[in-house]
Copies of this chain bind each other. A is one copy, B any other.
Amino acid sequence: MSTGGGRSVDPCLDEDRLHRLGIAHLTEPGDPRVAGLVDDLGAAVVHEGLLRGLDLQGVELDAAARVGATEPARALERAHRAGLRFVVPGDTEWPAQLDDLGSAAPVSRHGGRPLGVWVRGPLGLHEIARSVAVVGARAATTYGTDVAARLAAGVAESGRTVVSGAAFGIDQAAHRGALAADGRTVAVLACGADRVYPQAHARLIEHLADEHCLVSETVPGGAPTRMRFLSRNRLIAALTQGTVVVEAALRSGALNTANWAGRLHRHLMGVPGPVTSAHSAGVHQLLREGGALVVTHADEVLEVVAPAGEQLTVRARGEDRARDRLTHRQQQVLEAVPLRRAADDFSIAGTAGVAPLEVRGTLLKLEEAGFVRREGTGWRLADHDPQLPGQPFLDWTG
């Protein structure tokens, strides 16, 4: 038997691979009943059972896929010629994170560890353990696609792989952002990995196949169907360390991916947007109710997914103000200087709780720096903040 692109030299694994491929040709991707049976009984038993008409409570036996089912070696050979490899558990390339799907409860008719995945492209699946999913609405705004591209670029620059679904809108922006940063990116498809959907993204998808990686649980040639999109979403969540949702209307597919991320104990993040935008309403719902973390920048995403201490975000703190560069004693005295009515050294010393002699010297330094000015025998604040020309001192009131 040919391994058809699998990387194992273990003949048992290759037997298993062919049975898994046969089952995949007979059943829908992501059917948790099939996955459970294969995990419990082994692929060979289930495959043979299905071929003999085993009743799986309605698991569809797709007549058109019979060739793949009865002659898996031929189907594997054909896939291999199309540039696809069929990666199964036990392969070096098998991404261990997909095993988590085996223990997560299925939702509706979706769940379970994939029987295997078809992979197309030079990037090895085992190389994407450090990865982040960037997903969101197909009907995205310019704000959403800009932010998605920037986030993806930042993630890719850190050496992590950006995973998305090659769809319109946020997905496309995520892939493009990673490519623009010369990073790695993987598209997980609902159709067969030899197909292109949507057609408008043919160039992008072919480029990913040539230089990066396409992944699908659907048999080669398989069409994108509603069920397959939902199954696909669970793979995006499972393959990655965390999922960032950038724009999503209420009830959009991206929220389905997000829910899988939560269910799989992956990090779940959301990029906020205007509360007046329906395109962000789903993200805000995730932030309010779904346990998603607010992220506004790639650094914040990396801080979330990186092991403790590996990636530390420099906390944003706004512009430095001249006031910040004063010593503690200088600040103490400055705070005691009145805004309008001048006060003398002794009054300021009393307010600041500092000895009058020391106050005098400090006030002279503050005058030099432009913070205070003399008025008669006393001192008051300068009219303008020396750091913010034209802005009155009252600007700290906002």
Interface on A for B, CB 8 Å cutoff?
28, 57-61, 63-64, 109, 137-139, 143, 146-147, 167-169, 190, 223-227, 229, 249-254, 271-276, 280-282, 284-285, 287-289, 293-297, 300, 315-318, 335-336, 338-341, 347, 349-354, 393-398
A63 to B351, alpha carbons, bound, how many Å?
12
A137 to B396, alpha carbons, bound, how many Å?
10
Pair B294/A398 contact, Cβ less than 8 Å: no
Pair A316/B250 contact, Cβ less than 8 Å: yes
A287 to B294, alpha carbons, bound, how many Å?
7
A340 to B276, alpha carbons, bound, how many Å?
37
Known: A275-B296, A394-B224. A351 touches B60 (CB 8 A): yes
- Interface of A, secondary structure class, is loop
Pair A294/B288 contact, Cβ less than 8 Å: yes
Pair B138/A61 contact, Cβ less than 8 Å: no
Find chain B residues with CB under 8 A from A287 CB: 272, 287, 294
Closest to A252 in B: B398
Find chain B residues with CB under 8 A from A295 CB: 288
A275 to B246, alpha carbons, bound, how many Å?
11
A218 to B10, alpha carbons, bound, how many Å?
83
Measured between C-beta atoms, what is the minimum distance from A94 to chain B in Å? 27
Pair A335/B397 contact, Cβ less than 8 Å: no
Pair A143/B276 contact, Cβ less than 8 Å: yes
A106 to B137, alpha carbons, bound, how many Å?
46
Find chain B residues with CB under 8 A from A229 CB: 396-397
- 7 additional A-B residue pairs with CB within 8 Å, beyond A167-B397, A224-B397, A281-B316: A58-B353, A60-B351, A109-B335, A190-B397, A223-B338, A288-B295, A288-B296
Pair A227/B147 contact, Cβ less than 8 Å: no
Pair A350/B226 contact, Cβ less than 8 Å: no
Pair A285/B339 contact, Cβ less than 8 Å: no
Find chain B residues with CB under 8 A from A61 CB: 350
A289 to B313, alpha carbons, bound, how many Å?
12
Pair B225/A339 contact, Cβ less than 8 Å: yes
Find chain B residues with CB under 8 A from A138 CB: 395, 397-398
Find chain B residues with CB under 8 A from A347 CB: 60, 63
8 closest residue pairs by CB, A with B: A58-B353, A272-B272, A138-B398, A250-B318, A275-B296, A251-B318, A60-B351, A287-B294
Pair A352/B275 contact, Cβ less than 8 Å: no
Closest to A289 in B: B315
Find chain B residues with CB under 8 A from A147 CB: 275-276
Find chain B residues with CB under 8 A from A349 CB: 58
Looking at A57, A64, A318, A393, which has the most chain B CB atoms within 10 Å of its CB? A318
Looking at A143, A190, A297, A394, which has the most chain B CB atoms within 10 Å of its CB? A394
Looking at A109, A146, A300, A354, which has the most chain B CB atoms within 10 Å of its CB? A109
**Of B227, B253, B273, which contacts A272 at CB under 8 A?**
B273
Closest to A303 in B: B288
Closest to A109 in B: B335
Pair B167/A398 contact, Cβ less than 8 Å: yes
Pair B288/A300 contact, Cβ less than 8 Å: yes
Pair A250/B317 contact, Cβ less than 8 Å: yes
Find chain B residues with CB under 8 A from A297 CB: 275
Find chain B residues with CB under 8 A from A398 CB: 137-139, 167-169, 249, 252-254
Pair A352/B58 contact, Cβ less than 8 Å: yes
Pair A143/B274 contact, Cβ less than 8 Å: yes
Looking at A139, A169, A350, which has the most chain B CB atoms within 10 Å of its CB? A350
A380 to B67, alpha carbons, bound, how many Å?
23
A249 to B394, alpha carbons, bound, how many Å?
16
Closest to A143 in B: B274
Measured between C-beta atoms, what is the minimum distance from A299 to chain B in Å? 12
Closest to A62 in B: B347
